[in-house]
């Protein structure tokens, strides 16, 4: 009986370390361009020439760090900072204030508001580079910890916590663009009997193998598989209709069967098999992402109760 070794986090979660991004907000183009030229060796840089433009770019660009000039017309740096922190989509971004003000109270105000750092103008290039480098490293570590908190420790794929974030996000996108969204609920057949017969160590290895096999069946970066609980897995397939979802389900089922993992206690076969519930819909057809989840779960239930080792993709009746 062949099993996979303990897996590394699956590429769908930790495929690469993305280039870090910095947003420079300064109304003086010469200053912004100079700063960008200095730090471009460390990161990708975008420039905004006003507070209002900076707020828009922060949402679009999702930078790791913002360098924010204090003295700007219309909306100064402190106002921009407060707006950033009010918005849950930008509140996590570290901000370094840039200022020519020599008044210590300005620095105190910025730090009390929650700024990560203060850099005085005119800046020294080595100091600017060092501080940006340090804060980018802190941002990288925070993002890594966040990603690790979304990974199932046993299988190396996404966990339920991550799925619970990803599903409503994809459903919202589906609503905005009227795109199809599909879910597969997958359960390892007779896993309790397998676990009791072969032992928990082999049971864990079995789940690792199944998880990696499912992950290898998903060929698009946007597709994801998560461990939903115990021996149950869920696949989230954006922009996938009913027929496309069935094809993915069939591929997963065939791959699991080809593993030929012995399961003498199985009811459906003497090898390890899976049952799959398939659901796919557009926004006009369902009210919420929970409707889609309930649909897939109900179909999985019917697959389990009609003999196991099968795919159910239609309503009862």
| Positions marked active-site | 231
Is the backbone of residue 114 left (phi > 0), alpha (psi -120 to 50) or beta?
Answer: left
Alpha-carbon span 132 to 97, nearest angstrom: 11
C-alpha radius of gyration, the chain, whole number: 25
Cα–Cα distances in Å, from 89 out to 86, 123, 131, 288? 9, 30, 24, 22
Alpha-carbon span 152 to 159, nearest angstrom: 5
Alpha-carbon span 229 to 207, nearest angstrom: 11
**Which three-class secondary structure string do you get for 217-257?**
CCCCCCCEEEEEECCEEEEEEECCCHHHHHHHHHHHHHHHH
Alpha-carbon span 74 to 77, nearest angstrom: 10
Structure tokens of 308? 């196991």
Edge to edge, what strands does the sheet with 21-25 contain? Answer: 44-48, 21-25, 65-69, 94-99, 117-120
Among 32, 53, 36, CA closest to 44: 36
Is the backbone of residue 62 left (phi > 0), alpha (psi -120 to 50) or beta?
Answer: left
């Amino acid at each position: 009986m062949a099993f996979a070794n303990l897996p590394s986090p699956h590429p769908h979660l930790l495929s690469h370390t993305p280039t870090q991004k910095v947003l420079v907000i300064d109304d003086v183009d010469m200053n912004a361009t100079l700063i960008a030229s200095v730090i471009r060796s460390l990161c990708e840089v975008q420039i905004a020439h006003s507070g209002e433009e900076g707020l828009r770019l922060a949402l679009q660009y999702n930078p790791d760090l913002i360098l924010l000039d204090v003295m700007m017309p219309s909306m100064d740096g402190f106002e921009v900072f407060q707006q950033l922190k009010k918005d849950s989509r930008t509140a996590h971004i570290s901000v370094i204030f840039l200022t020519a003000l020599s008044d210590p109270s300005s620095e105190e105000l910025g730090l009390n508001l929650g700024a990560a750092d203060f850099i005085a103008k005119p800046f020294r290039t080595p100091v600017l580079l060092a501080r940006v480098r340090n804060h980018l490293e802190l941002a990288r570590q925070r993002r890594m910890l966040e990603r690790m908190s979304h990974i199932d420790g046993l299988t190396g794929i996404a966990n339920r916590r991550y799925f619970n974030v990803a599903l409503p996000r994809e459903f919202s996108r589906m609503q905005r663009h009227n795109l199809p969204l599909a879910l597969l609920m997958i359960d390892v057949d007779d896993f309790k009997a397998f676990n009791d017969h072969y032992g928990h160590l082999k049971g864990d290895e079995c789940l690792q193998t199944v998880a990696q096999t499912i992950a290898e069946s998903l060929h698009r970066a946007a597709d994801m598989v998560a461990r939903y609980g115990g021996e149950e897995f869920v696949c989230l397939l954006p922009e996938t209709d009913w027929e496309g979802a069935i094809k993915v389900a069939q591929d997963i089922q065939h791959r699991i069967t080809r593993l030929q993992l012995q399961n003498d206690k199985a009811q459906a076969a003497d090898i390890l098999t899976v049952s799959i519930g398939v659901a796919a819909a557009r926004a006009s057809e369902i009210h919420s992402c929970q409707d889609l989840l309930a649909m897939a779960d109900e179909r999985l239930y019917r697959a389990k109760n009609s003999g196991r080792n099968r795919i159910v993709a239609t309503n009862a009746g």
